[in-house]
């Protein structure tokens, strides 16, 4: 921390530059967090970019540049490239420690969905049921007449705006309910579940369009907990993290009464996230039902996607169970501030990119990152 001291980092600024460079690998010091336990193995020495060290990729400005320059320009903290289940290249920024769990924001949604798929395979959860079958408290909210599948596909009609830079409106109140922002004594926020169950319905019908709203996944986390009679961190550990052989503990933030932030609160190492991507590439590898993984590759409703608010990201794609189906043969899990899991079966490649990008969302940069991921996949 050459630019600042630990005491400079607060609940008000931890997601902003330059403090995010440290905070994104130390979230549990700032927001209460629960452990997603692994059967911790001895740390493996980091690799380097190996044969990718000389690779040129297309930069954000459209010109060719070395991969290392692109990684620095796109504020990357960690990059891991896995081929046929083996890590073949790795890169870390000077300020980053690959052994520390890095916050993955909305990639958390994708991991929550994989857990849900496992529970479906065990007969504990049904996507065909209504949300209120698991969370009766949601009656009277936007979710009262929604199915669990609509919840996992972001096809819920809600009166809520996903505005990451909001400082005084509904998204700020949501962030305060999660424990991510300091509360306001004049208008205190409720706990997370109470906040979600207060959201009203939007001006369209469920299923008509893809409407990316993070409270949906926080509610999905509660659905999963109710279905399997356990807390989310323990369920993730027992059903996903330990069985897949994760090498390090992960973390997930919790609100004031212990409700997990399934929508964006997980932290994990890039190497363990590569194992997650490899599970998807290998059609569940016997841990996740193959039918669930096949459904991810088939994708969700393309009509809902084209009517939605993220269609420009992958114009020929779709969204299914919190994973992006690109329309060009890949799957992606994506989080704000530059978090990615990229699965390319054609080249048998999984790539993880963890970042501390200054802006939560940068559409132009996202397109450049997609291009880089495809170039790296082809190169390896």
Q: Which two tokens stand for residue 128?
A: 């065909």
Q: Which residues contact 359 (CB under 8 A, 6 or more apart)?
A: 337, 365
- Indicate the helix (H) or strand (E) that contains 271: helix 270-281
Q: Are 268 and 33 in contact (CB under 8 A)?
A: no
User: Distance between alpha carbon 187 and the CA centroid of its chain, in Å?
Assistant: 29
In a 13 Å sphere around the CA of 273, the CA atoms on its Cβ side amount to: 38
Q: How many CB atoms lie within 10 A of CB 307?
A: 15
Distances from the Cα of 253 to the Cα of 208, 259, 265, 284, 332, angstroms: 32, 8, 5, 26, 23
How far is it, in rounded angstroms, from Cα 117 to Cα 120?
5
Please provide the distance, in angstroms rounded to a whole number, between the alpha carbons at the two ends of the chain. 34
Four-residue CA torsion sign, 151, 153, 158, 161: positive
Encode the chain (380 residues) as per-residue pLDDT tens digits: 678 999 999 999 999 999 999 999 999 999 999 999 998 766 677 678 877 888 999 999 999 999 999 999 999 999 999 999 999 999 999 999 999 999 999 999 999 999 999 999 999 999 999 999 999 999 999 999 999 999 999 999 999 999 999 999 999 999 999 999 999 999 999 999 999 999 999 999 999 999 999 999 999 999 999 999 999 999 999 999 999 999 999 999 999 999 999 999 999 999 999 999 999 999 999 999 999 999 999 999 999 999 999 999 999 999 999 999 999 999 999 999 999 999 999 999 999 999 999 999 999 999 999 999 999 999 97
> Which residues are designated catalytic?
106
Give a three-class secondary structure readout of 339-378: EEEEEECCCCEEEEEEECCCCCCCHHHHHHHHHHHHHHHH
Q: Are 339 and 106 in contact (CB under 8 A)?
A: yes
CA proximity to 300, closest of 151, 156, 153: 153
Distances from the Cα of 111 to the Cα of 15, 265, 277, 327, angstroms: 22, 11, 10, 21
How far is it, in rounded angstroms, from Cα 335 to Cα 91?
19
How far is it, in rounded angstroms, from Cα 102 to Cα 279?
20
- pTM of the predicted protein model: 0.94
Q: Sort strands 331-335 and 323-325 into parallel, antiparallel or unpaired.
A: antiparallel
């Amino acid at each position: 921390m050459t630019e600042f001291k630990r005491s400079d980092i607060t609940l008000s600024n931890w997601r902003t530059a330059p403090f995010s460079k440290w905070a994104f690998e130390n979230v549990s010091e700032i927001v209460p967090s629960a452990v997603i336990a692994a059967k911790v193995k001895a740390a493996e020495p980091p690799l380097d970019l190996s044969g990718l060290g000389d690779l040129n990729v297309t930069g954000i400005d459209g010109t060719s540049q070395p991969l290392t320059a692109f990684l620095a320009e796109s504020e990357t903290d960690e990059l891991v490239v896995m081929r046929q289940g083996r890590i073949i290249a790795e890169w870390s920024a000077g300020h980053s420690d690959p052994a520390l769990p890095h916050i993955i924001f909305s990639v958390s949604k994708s991991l929550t969905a994989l857990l849900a798929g496992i529970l479906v395979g065990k007969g504990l959860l049904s996507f065909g049921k209504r949300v209120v079958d698991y969370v009766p408290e949601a009656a009277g909210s936007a979710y009262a007449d929604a199915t669990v599948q609509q919840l996992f596909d972001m096809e819920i009609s809600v009166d809520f705006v996903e505005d990451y830079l909001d400082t005084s409106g509904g998204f700020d109140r949501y962030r305060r309910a999660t424990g991510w922002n300091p509360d306001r004594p004049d208008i205190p926020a409720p706990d997370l579940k109470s906040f979600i169950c207060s959201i009203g319905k939007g001006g369209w019908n469920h299923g008509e369009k893809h409407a990316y709203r993070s409270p949906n996944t926080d509610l999905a986390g509660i659905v999963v907990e109710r279905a399997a009679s356990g807390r989310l961190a323990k369920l993730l550990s027992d059903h996903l993290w330990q069985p897949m052989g994760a090498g390090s503990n992960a973390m997930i933030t919790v609100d004031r009464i212990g409700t997990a932030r399934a929508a964006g609160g997980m932290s994990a190492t890039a190497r363990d996230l590569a194992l997650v991507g490899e599970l998807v590439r290998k059609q569940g590898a016997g841990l996740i039902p193959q039918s669930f993984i096949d459904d991810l590759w088939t994708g969700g409703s393309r009509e809902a996607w084209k009517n939605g608010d993220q269609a420009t990201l992958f114009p020929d794609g779709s969204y299914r169970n919190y994973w992006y189906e690109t329309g060009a043969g890949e799957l992606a899990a994506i989080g704000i501030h530059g978090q990615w899991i990229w699965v390319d079966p054609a080249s048998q490649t999984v790539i993880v990119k963890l970042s501390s990008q200054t802006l939560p969302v940068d559409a132009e940069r996202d397109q450049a990152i997609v291009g880089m991921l495809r170039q790296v996949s082809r190169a390896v």
